[in-house]
């Protein structure tokens, strides 16, 4: 989930009127700094992340023309609960669903609806999280739905996924967030796309959003943290086919591109190791 926290800080503060759903104590009350997780904590996060990966794998198979985003949300919530977890997103600062479902020019935080039909050719981003025994897993995929998906959409999704992996390839103990960000930005811009700067990845663990901000572009405005073994991060490049600029709709959640261009996102929860990283939300199992 691509930093709900930044969006909330800037445009949701004081506005969350939704009821917190039957879920865990996930709203971070204060800054704790960058946390290094113990082996026990990582083992639990591995289980939470496996639940997320399982649900996303099933949702990818399910997404088809004629389904609604509400159908996908209901299925994801049911499966998360069947697997022994609770949805990380539902009720989080009032968010009303268990997934974010963002179609075509919707960048992030799309609210699922039984009225929102999925059509052949759509590019849909499905972002979800699971809270299991006190810890979260968080991941996002982009799905090219059915036949007739524009070539630009397929390329945008592919480059976003490649950019994620390019960024993860830099991760190891002693590397920095700026190295990760540079690898992502260079790959994206080499293909003529734009990195969305309004949202970043984040630390993840006992809280859905923890420090640090995991940015996808070169900047001196955010702390360039040196990575240590045991840090758990949600890394999530978000790309637009046109301008990087975004705006939030009147529902106060859904973010769209200002120019109507397509957007794509891929995300994994990882743990930093001495010589690389482990992708906790890997769907290949």
| Successive 10-residue mean pLDDT values, the chain, 285 residues | 46 31 42 89 98 98 98 98 98 97 98 98 98 98 97 98 98 98 98 98 98 97 97 98 98 98 98 98 97
| Contact between residue 262 and residue 283 where contact means Cβ atoms under 8 Å apart | no
| Contact between residue 164 and residue 266 where contact means Cβ atoms under 8 Å apart | yes
Domain-wise residue ranges, the chain: 4-9+34-279
| Contact between residue 199 and residue 216 where contact means Cβ atoms under 8 Å apart | no
- Class of the domain covering 4-9+34-279: alpha beta
Euclidean distance between CA atoms 22 and 16, whole angstroms: 16
Residues in Cβ contact with 2 at an 8 Å cutoff, skipping those fewer than 6 apart: 108, 127, 140, 199, 200, 201, 236, 238, 265, 267
Model confidence, pTM? 0.91
Q: Where are the beta strands (DSSP E) in the chain?
A: 86-87, 99-103, 106-108, 123-132, 135-144, 194-195, 201-203, 210-214, 232-235, 238-240, 246-248, 255-257, 263-265, 268-273, 276-279
Radius of gyration of the chain (CA): 17
| Contact between residue 209 and residue 14 where contact means Cβ atoms under 8 Å apart | no
Q: What are phi and psi of 222, to 5 degrees?
A: -120, 150
Tokens of 181: 């960000």
Q: What is the pLDDT of residue 31?
A: 53
């Amino acid at each position: 989930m691509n930093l709900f926290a930044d969006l909330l800080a800037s445009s949701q503060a004081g506005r969350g009127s939704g009821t917190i759903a039957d879920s865990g104590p996930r709203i971070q009350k204060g800054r704790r700094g960058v946390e290094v997780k113990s082996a026990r904590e990582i083992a639990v996060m591995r289980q939470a992340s496996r639940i997320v990966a399982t649900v996303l794998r099933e949702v990818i198979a399910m997404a088809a023309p004629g389904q609604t985003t509400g159908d996908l949300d209901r299925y994801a919530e049911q499966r998360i609960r069947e697997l022994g977890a609770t949805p990380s997103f539902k009720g989080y600062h009032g968010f009303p669903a268990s997934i974010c479902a963002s179609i075509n020019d919707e960048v992030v935080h799309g609210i699922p609806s039984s009225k929102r039909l999925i059509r052949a050719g759509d590019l849909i981003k499905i972002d979800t999280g699971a809270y299991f025994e006190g810890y979260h897993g968080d991941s996002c995929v982009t799905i090219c739905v059915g036949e007739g998906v524009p070539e630009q959409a397929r390329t945008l999704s592919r480059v976003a996924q490649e950019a994620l992996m390019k960024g993860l390839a830099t991760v190891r103990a002693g590397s920095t967030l700026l190295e990760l960000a540079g690898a992502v930005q260079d790959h994206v811009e080499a293909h003529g796309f734009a990195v969305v700067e309004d949202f970043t990845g984040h630390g993840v663990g006992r809280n859905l959003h923890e420090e640090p901000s995991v940015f996808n572009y070169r900047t001196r405005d955010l702390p360039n943290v040196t990575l240590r073994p045991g840090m758990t991060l949600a890394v999530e490049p978000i790309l637009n086919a046109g301008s990087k600029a975004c705006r939030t709709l009147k529902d106060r959640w859904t973010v769209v591109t200002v120019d109507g261009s397509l957007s794509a996102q891929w995300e994994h929860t990882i743990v930093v190791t001495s010589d690389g990283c482990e992708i906790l939300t890997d769907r290949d199992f």
